[in-house]
Amino acid sequence: MSFPVSDQQGYEQQVLVKILFEQQFKRSASLVCHAPGRVNIIGDHTDYNDGFVLPAAINYGTTIAASKREDLIVKVYAHDCEQQINEFSLDDITFDEEMMWSNYVKGTLQALMKKHPSIKGANLAVTGNVPQGAGLSSSASFEIAILKAFSQLYQLELTGIDAALIGQQAENDFVGCNCGIMDQLISAMGQQGHAMLLDCKSLSFEDAPIPDDLTLFIINSNVKRGLVDSEYNLRREQCEAVAKYFGKSALREVTLAQLNFAKEQLEPELFKRARHVITENTRAVNALNALKNNDMVTISAAMKASHLSLRDDFEVTTKEMDGLVNMIDNVLGEKGGVRMTGGGFGGCVVALVPLELVAQVESVVNNNYENKFGLKPSIYHCTATQGAFR
């Protein structure tokens, strides 16, 4: 199944969410807003280690139609979650074990009220086309769209960085996923046609243009995954343990030379986890410079090394993802790059593919992946798009 790039789909989402709002609330929405999902070109599991990441916002995201209420009630219609409706009061926010999606709304608004306690309720209709559980950050897109809606409804002074921090806080403290800042910040602050090198410690960032002759080619392995699980949080704990060994606040502060010197004192598994993070930071910075110079050879090598590191040192790939990477790499060689992307344990592979090789890459995936692994791939031809607060 292939999903082409189209501005039309964004327009269709806007039209749909307006209709859904009118059907549910018997009135027109005051506003419609959108926040994109993201793909991480390179730099995985570095964000919560205060490191560097190189994501791009993509033209798949969450669209919300909204209107203010005079009370504290928030009523949310989620079209893509079995058309469920969730209703709660801002002065009585509790975790919902039944409607897990609603916790992203609740956690985000609870965190928002710490900065803006005077907000009131809202009616919301939500739809999105980010594949859930694929590693393209449907949750951050959802959070940033909610924050954009409330910032406009209540004229809040809310920067993109503010919104990113609030979204991250919602996931960490309410939902229970110890994610870093990357997903929310690129959804808020991405620039059209560009990737962003984000310093997750200082929250400073630098944009680099994605060459016009390359496409963001994303393949969902359709191996289902979830971030709110023991494996993701365990990786974070392992990284923190190594940082603590060196007396540092995060692995960002540890050099490869220091790590290698202490190899015999560290458990082998902890050493490997830290080696991935430290070397991945270097690859992300190098990839930014390579993008600026349209140096595909360097980008290709960096993405290949990143995937091998995630496979062997961080151990978050699957045989299906490894298979996809190998298939695509055999076509691209040094003309493009390919690697797993996201938290791992399933989800997506990202490739930077020259336009003249797109049909060949798609053909290789469609002709081989299902035969080998028994799963149908979903292919997304993406463009880098604008963040909600940019």
Distance CA 329, CA 331 (A): 5
For residue 84, being part of any structural domain is answered with: yes
Specify whether the CB–CB gap between 384 and 56 falls below 8 A: yes
Q: How many helices and strands, by DSSP H and E, does the chain display?
A: 11, 12
Using CA atoms, how far apart are residues 201 and 133, in angstroms rounded to an integer? 27
Asked whether residue 233 falls in the same domain as residue 153, the answer is no
Q: Which residues contact 191 (CB under 8 A, 6 or more apart)?
A: 57, 207, 384, 386, 387, 390
- Let me know whether 336 and 202 are in one domain: no
- How far apart (Å, rounded) are the C-alpha atoms in residues 252 and 33? 35
Contact 218, 38 (CB under 8 A): no
* pLDDT surpasses 80 at 324: yes
**In the chain, % of residues over pLDDT 90:** 85
69: Cβ contacts below 8 Å, ≥ 6 apart: 75, 120, 121, 122, 123
80 within some domain:
yes
- Position 134 in a domain: yes
Check whether 342 has a pLDDT greater than 90: no
Residues 300, 284: Cα–Cα separation, whole Å? 12
pLDDT at 176: 87
- Cα end-to-end span (Å), the chain: 32
Residue 39 has pLDDT above 50, yes or no: yes
At 320 the three-state DSSP class reads: helix
Alpha-carbon span 225 to 313, nearest angstrom: 20
Q: CB of 3 within 8 A of CB of 217?
A: no
Q: What is the pLDDT of residue 4?
A: 42
Active site residue 329: no
- Report pLDDT for 2: 36
Domain membership flag for residue 389:
no
Q: Are residues 258 and 299 in the same domain?
A: yes
Please give the Cα distance from 320 to 370 (Å, whole number): 10
Beta strands in 275-343 (DSSP E): 337-341
Predicted confidence at residue 228, as pLDDT, reads: 43
Specify whether 228 is located in the same domain as 355. yes
Averaged pLDDT, 282-298: 96
CA distance linking residue 239 with residue 310, whole number of Å: 14
The answer, yes or no, to whether residue 347 has pLDDT greater than 60, is yes
CATH number at residue 257: 3.30.70.890
Last-in-domain residue among 175, 208, 241: 208
Q: How confident is the model at residue 51 (pLDDT cuts 50, 70, 90)?
A: very high
Buried b (16+ CB within 10 A) or exposed e, 269-280: ebbbbbbbbbbb
Note the pTM of the prediction, 2 decimals. 0.90
d(CA 55, CA 206): 11
Whole-number Cα distances in Å, 334 to 221, 280, 308:
23, 19, 16
DSSP for 343-367? S-SS-EEEEEEEGGGHHHHHHHHHH
Q: What is the mean pLDDT of residues 276-299?
A: 96
Q: Does 217 lie in the same domain as 259?
A: yes
Alpha-carbon distance values, 347 to 19, 137, 271, 326, 380 (Å): 31, 11, 26, 16, 13
pLDDT number for residue 18: 96
Is residue 167 domain-shared with residue 230, that is, in the same domain?
no
Say if residue 127's pLDDT is above 50. yes
pLDDT, tens digit, 9 for 90 and up, residues 53-89: 999 999 999 999 999 999 999 999 999 888 899 999 9
Q: With pLDDT > 70 as the criterion, what percentage of the chain qualifies?
A: 95
- What domain range is 79 assigned to? 2-208
Q: What is the mean pLDDT of residues 31-55?
A: 95
- For residue 134, what pLDDT band results from cuts at 50, 70 and 90? low
In a domain, 23, yes or no: yes
d(CA 135, CA 316): 12
Q: How many domains does the chain have?
A: 2
Q: What is the pLDDT of residue 82?
A: 86
Say which residue, 10 or 161, is predicted with more confidence: 161
Q: Which of 44, 47, 183, 313 is catalytic?
A: 183
Which pLDDT belongs to residue 366? 97
Specify the residue for token string 């690859």.
283
Chain segment 136-162, per-residue pLDDT in tens: 778 999 999 999 999 999 999 999 999
Residue 262 carries which side chain, given as an amino acid letter?
A: A
Look at residue 377 and tell me if it is in a domain.
Answer: yes
